[in-house]
Amino acid sequence: MKDFTENGVVLRESIIINYPNEVKGFIQLKTRYWDINKADESYAYIPALRRLRRLTGSDLTDPLLGSDACPDDFEVWRQKLTSKMKIRVLEHRDYLVPKTYVGMENKPPYDYKKTGPYVQVEWELRPQWVLEIMINDPNYLYSKRVLYVDAVPLDQGGSYLLYWGEQYDQKGRMFKANGQVAPAASKDGFKNLYNWVYINCLTDHYTFFDGWPTYVKDFRETIPLKEEEAFTIKGLLKRAR
């Protein structure tokens, strides 16, 4: 895309953890560059340490705040593509997946205190592309990933949403798995509110996250971004506190 190649930046994103209280105030700020050989810039503020850290290398696969999630697993896949990776299509077929809800008013109620990590969802059959990504980096936590990608064409209501992912360690064991639970979309098809589950298959433990965009009002109206608030450490700290 022209914006990527001219500015050299694919995206900037920021994350703020609001609860539970013991990790409230954690922030992460990331810049991803168009150059495939240029590493992401990623910073995190750790409230317990009152320190700002730059995340590099193995930091991006370290468990986040004692959970089963790591930054490279956000939204199923957050790892940067590299020239070492080899990707192939394993299959294309229907899978039973959580239904995408249109509008917040249709999204099922969720209260962790009452139901734990379970959301009352409807299910639907959707075609999926199953991709195998060989990482080919012995220094990386995973040897390969298997991704399940929505294969419905865009003009028929598809989204290329990543529904599920499986991560294998360097010994070939399925190490982690993570995916979407009850994703929600605007009437225009823009998906920006999710519930995520992260599973550590070797320890039989899971973490459940729910997330929403700060700059979307009632899931219908996008609020213009203020760059100094959204994408600077100072602005994020002010919001987090």
Q: For residue 114, what pLDDT band results from cuts at 50, 70 and 90?
A: confident
The predicted structure's pLDDT at residue 190: 59
Cis peptide before 108 (omega within 30 of 0): no
Confidence of residue 96 (pLDDT cuts 50, 70, 90): very high
- Euclidean distance between CA atoms 78 and 71, whole angstroms: 7
- Please state the rounded mean pLDDT for residues 51-58: 83
List domains and CATH numbers for the chain: 2-240 (2.50.20.10)
Residue 220: pLDDT band with limits 50, 70, 90? low
Decide if pLDDT at 188 tops 70. Answer: no
The chain-wide mean pLDDT, for the chain, equals 84
Contacts of 214 (CB under 8 A, 6+ apart): 16, 230, 239
The pTM score is 0.83
Long-range contacts of the stretch 52-56 (C-beta < 8 A, 24+): 52/233, 55/28
**pLDDT (0 to 100) of residue 4:** 75
What letter represents residue 144's amino acid? K
Helix (H) or strand (E) holding 155: none
Residues 6+ apart with CB under 8 A from 23: 17, 47, 48, 65, 66
Instruction: Give me the amino acid identity at 66.
Output: G
